[in-house]
Amino acid sequence: MAVRKEQHQPVLDHVHRLQEPHMYRVVLLNDDFTPMDYVVRVLQEYFHKNHPEAVSIMMQIHQTGKGVCGIYPFDLAETKVALVTADARQNQHPLQCTMEKE
Ligand code: TYC
């Protein structure tokens, strides 16, 4: 993924008050087929986790069924879901990545 500053800038509404963006959790779901080391790689590459953090989140998903990768404004969350899903399909893994409103 291209390196770009991830800014969560407030926007002005019609009466010029600062509105914080609504935030969305990007989550990965467990499955029986996607390799553990691939999920760790995704968490490092797309969600900027270090190796121990990535292993910990991957194991939480493996044991509980899902885990939060990061929390972002709508457009960035949507982009990450699309990039992770494309990467997984390109590598022929059934990994499911979705987003949930905070
Ligand atoms: N359950 C998978 C396995 O045993 C590992 C896995 C972890 C898959 C997290 C998906 O989001 C996931 N190979």
Confidence band, pLDDT 50/70/90 cuts, at residue 90: very high
Q: Which CATH number fits domain 35-101: 3.90.1170.50, 3.30.230.10, 3.30.1390.10, 2.60.120.10?
A: 3.30.1390.10
Q: Return the pLDDT at 9.
A: 74
Over range 20-36, report the average pLDDT. 96
**Residue 10 parent element (H or E):** none
**Residue 87 parent element (H or E):** helix 74-90
What pTM did the predictor assign? 0.88
Structure tokens at 40: 């760790």
Q: Which positions ≥6 away from 93 have C-beta within 8 Å?
A: 33, 34, 35, 38
Percent helix, strand and coil across the chain, each to the nearest 5: 40, 25, 35
Residues having CB closer than 6 A to ligand 1 are: 28-32, 34-36, 39, 58, 61-62, 95
Q: Return the pLDDT at 4.
A: 52
Which residue's C-alpha comes closest to atom 4 of ligand 1?
Answer: 32
